[in-house]
């Protein structure tokens, strides 16, 4: 089945540590997105990519980094500069403009 796979489902980060969240899609979509969701809140855009080897900052990019070396993959690194990383992270992809996004099941990140 086509879809988006995020891993791991749960992740714990120690102080000063970088962690990477995986996002893979087999929908042949060009656009991919990373969102952060805090409890009781909506989704806030971290980074997005419209095409391979290109990505743009969203509203809350500080403390995060991404890469888009392959069409299928859009990993997100939460760096030690992100002082409050505890949240639910959602990855999404989209085909043509005005088509809905397809979301992964999310990764819950917590600080140890």
Partner 1 sequence: AQKITQTQPGMFVQEKEAVTLDCTYDTSDQSYGLFWYKQPSSGEMIFLIYQGSYDEQNATEGRYSLNFQKARKSANLVISASQLGDSAMYFCAVNQFYFGTGTSLTVIP
- Which residues sit at the interface with partner 1, rule CB under 8 A? 33, 35, 40-45, 48, 58, 88, 90, 92, 94, 97-98, 100-106
- Least Å distance, CB 64 to partner 1, is 15
Mention every residue, 6+ apart, whose C-beta is less than 8 A from residue 44. Answer: 35, 36, 37, 58, 59, 60
Cβ neighbors of 22 (< 8 A, separation 6 or more) are: 5, 6, 7, 8, 73, 75
Closest to partner 1 by CB, 35 vs 72, is: 35
Minimum distance from CB of 72 to partner 1 (Å)? 20
User: DSSP label at 101?
Assistant: P
Q: Tell me the closest approach of the beta carbon of residue 112 to partner 1, in angstroms.
A: 21
Structure tokens at 98: 């005005």
Nearest residue (CB) to partner 1, 19 versus 32: 32
Of 62 and 105, which has the nearer Cβ to partner 1? 105
Which is nearer to partner 1, 19 or 90 (by Cβ)? Answer: 90
The separation between the first and the last C-alpha atoms of the chain, rounded to the nearest angstrom, is 35
């Amino acid at each position: 089945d086509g879809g988006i796979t995020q891993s791991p489902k749960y992740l714990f980060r120690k102080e000063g540590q970088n962690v990477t969240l995986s996002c893979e899609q087999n929908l042949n979509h060009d656009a991919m997105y990373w969102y952060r969701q805090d409890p009781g809140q909506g989704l806030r855009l971290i980074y997005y990519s419209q095409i391979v080897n290109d990505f743009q900052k969203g509203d809350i990019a500080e403390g995060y980094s991404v890469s888009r070396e392959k069409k299928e993959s859009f990993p997100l690194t939460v760096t030690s500069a992100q002082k409050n990383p505890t949240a639910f992270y959602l990855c999404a992809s989209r085909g043509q403009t005005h088509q809905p996004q397809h979301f992964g099941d999310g990764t819950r990140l917590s600080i140890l």
